[in-house]
Homo-oligomer: A and B are copies of this chain.
Amino acid sequence: MANLQDIGVSATINLLSALAFLVAFALLRLQPINDRVYFPKWYLKGIRGSPRRSGHVHNFVNLDLNMYIRFLNWMPAALKMPEPELIEHAGLDSAVFVRIYLLGLKIFVPVTFLAFAVLVPVNWTGDTLEHAKGLTYSDIDKLSISNIPAASKRFWAHIVMFYVFSFWTYYVLYKEYKLIASMRLRFLAAQKRRPDQFTVLLRNVPLDPDESISKHIEHFFFVNHPDHYLTHQLVYNANYLAKLVEKKKGLQNWLVYYENKYERSPTQRPTTKTGLWGLWGTKVDAIEYYSTELEKLSKEEDKEREKVVSDPDALIPAAFVSFKTRWAAAVCAQTQQSSNPTIWLTEWAPEPRDIFWDNLAIPYVKLALRKLIMAVALFFLTFCFMIPIAFVQSLANIEGIEKVFPFLKPIIEKKVIKSVIQGFLPGIALKIFLILLPRILMAMSQIEGFTSLSALDRRTAEKYHLFILVNVFFGSVVTGTAFQQLQKFLNEPSTEFTKTVGDSIPMKATFFITYIMVDGWAGIAAEILRLVPLVMFHLKNAFLVKTDQDRDQAMDPGCLDFPVSEPRIQLYILLGLVYSVVTPILLPFILVFFAFSYLVYRHQIINVYNQKYESGAAFWPHVHRRVIIGLMIAQLLLMGLFSMREAEQSSACLVALPIFTLWVHKFCQGRFESAFVKFPLQDAMVKDTLEKATEPNLDLKAYLKDAYVHPVFKDSSLEQITFIDDDEESNSLVPTKRTSRRSSKFPSEDNSESDA
């Protein structure tokens, strides 16, 4: 086991490497040429313009030495922006996300102080390890609970402190949940008029043989929400069209690339090959080839576009139904429409940009089946992911490759290459899997049928959290694969399992300290350097950019990677809670992680990230729940630990804690969760009334007209397209009742408003 000195060395190395990243960042960010990599947010906001006015060197490299001296001044700058401004600037999602790090600090700063003031002296004077013979131990162990003799009365100090820590965590969690719930409500109340406030996502519209989908929806809502229904927007199955648009964009990029190339060296027309990736096939003139390809694709796209908007089969039995008031939309989103709960499903419409269009048309039975299959798949992925990787690893050795590709034999047999293959390939298989894992999990969430990107992110984070918990935390504490752990868990008494795990916890402290430094500290420092976007931007800049607009598109501000980052935070919170009484020396490392991350992410959300959606911190209930899970795990493991140290009484004293944790969870859930799920009628009414007073002549229908159009239709000029819906509106076969209603609607708009 490592001693304090080893840890010190390791910490120094990691600190230095983190510092190197930071210095690199500080230097790179001062170069104007990198401005769009490190400050894209400001460009997107239109506040920063392009610096490249002339070809002067000042515009590429910063020569002002004064700025280099203050190279760390981004840190106070990141902290300077007050929170309300931050919410205004970056959105509530981002502002609340960095609060998770703050939550970590709030929990662990007092815990660290208390642990060092009380538990470290208690442990240090435990005197067990010094008197034990034949045991090798380190200074760290002397500071940990291992130094307390079995059945000692000193354990009471740990019990009491753990109670204090637990209750402090409850308190912080409760306060934070309350604050964020009120922040969310204030945020929603302060929001400007947005289409999703008036709109409900309607799914599983039953098919009617006599009526079109549009008619059917209209009739249903005219009957069941007579005073409130305003309009609706149908959803087209434009998945193939979206694919074409995507493909066209790629071809466009190539065309621009070759045109640029030709511009720079006009003597030689660039050529390409027609086969895969331009590597095989006949050689052709590149610009000509891509021009014709683009033309072909444009034609196909137009045809497809026409087909989608005119073919009734391209309609999905889903729609965005809009109401005259926010009150009515809130009512419709929260109530059940039909006695059959699998049709006419209504829920709050996500923001237009938040919608995951592919999943809007899944019937109920299919959805239930998909969820079952994905649950089973997740189980196998979590517990058995090592099996296919081991299989790939067994294939990816020298002999395997020689067998499959015998012609590669002479190359492989060379010494350098051989050692590379033998050294790296097995590791690479695992590394590739771990890099791909978030995407795999995201794909699984997509199959489950969520309809918004934010829900997908939350769901993926849940899956990733499970994976980390099983494979990183338990996988490190209990040696062996996750599947072996599962077997152990099933075949051992449940108390025995917590005991073995609890017992091995103190021994793993040094491992986790190193893990925190490598994964946490260095990872965060790498995050701020943004190496991949940096390289990508300069590549694009060199080959694809012609106009300022192109340069804007070449920027990749990225966004918060919630599904990956949040579960990682949860792991550190769990580690902190578990080791708070076992090995308090671990706590400062976690504190450094939280403080540093808070700084970095605050800087990033101010200067870099551009969120794809704004869910209004809808993820907080998940964050809260996972901290509760972590607390629960810590409590159970400590019970196991104490009963292994023959402190059965003290272990029994801890029984109340998990029950209390569960209760705190239920309590907070009942108290605050609805703020994240429902929209209270009172607030809706306030906003409605206010709006009516300030803008009595608002034409809401015009405002909502194209809010929920599939993005591929937004790109093109919308005026040219006549949607089916509009065709019908002018249809003379509309029943009389509806026409009279329709004709009287516009003059009576004021009436209905004065009613409300």
Contact = CB atoms under 8 A, between A and B. Distances in A.
A342 interface: yes
A1 interface: no
A755 B336 contact: no
Contacts of A493: 490-494, 496
A494 B492 CA distance: 7
B680 A337 contact: yes
Q: How many copies does the complex hold?
A: 2
Contacts of A681: 224-225, 335-337
A756 interface: yes
Nearest to A671: B342
Interface stretch (A533-541, A597-605, A659-667): A659-667
A224 B685 CA distance: 6
A670 interface: yes
Chain A interface main SS type: helix
Contact of A674 (B336, B670, B682): B336
A275 interface: no
Contact of A372 (B339, B663, B755): B663
B491 A670 contact: no
Interface string A314-351: 00000000000001001100111111011010000000
Given A227-B756, A491-B496, A756-B226, A336 B671 contact: no
A223 B685 contact: yes
Interface in A480-495: 490-495
Contacts of A683: 339
B336 A224 contact: no
A109 interface: no
Which residue, of A339, A671, A673, has the highest number of chain B Cβ atoms within 10 A? A339
Nearest to A656: B376
Contact of A368 (B336, B376, B494, B663): B663
Nearest to A367: B670
Which residue, of A338, A341, A491, has the highest number of chain B Cβ atoms within 10 A? A341
Contact of A490 (B342, B495, B679, B680): B495
Interface string A718-753: 000000000000000000000000000000000000
A642 to B, nearest CB: 15
A68 interface: no
Interface in A432-465: none
A178 to B, nearest CB: 10
A304 B235 CA distance: 64
B341 A674 contact: yes
Given A376-B659, A672-B341, A756-B227, A678 B496 contact: no
A496 B490 CA distance: 8
A338 B224 CA distance: 24
A729 B447 CA distance: 58
Nearest to A670: B368
A185 interface: yes
A120 B402 CA distance: 59
A156 interface: no
B335 A331 contact: yes
Given A495-B490, A671-B342, A334 B335 contact: yes
A245 interface: no
Contacts of A220: 682
B227 A755 contact: yes
A651 to B, nearest CB: 12
B659 A338 contact: no
Contacts of A98: none
A113 interface: no
A224 B686 CA distance: 9
Contacts of A225: 681
A675 interface: yes
Contacts of A685: 223-224
A339 B495 contact: no
A675 B341 CA distance: 8
A364 interface: yes
A674 B342 CA distance: 10
Contacts of A338: 680, 682
Contacts of A666: 368, 371
Given A336-B679, A336-B681, 9 more contacts: A223-B685, A336-B678, A336-B680, A339-B680, A364-B671, A368-B663, A368-B666, A490-B494, A493-B496
10 contacts: A220-B682, A223-B685, A331-B331, A334-B336, A335-B681, A341-B675, A342-B671, A364-B671, A368-B670, A372-B663
List the 10 closest pairs (A to B, CB-CB), nearest first.
A341-B674, A336-B678, A334-B335, A339-B680, A491-B493, A336-B680, A372-B663, A368-B667, A185-B339, A492-B493
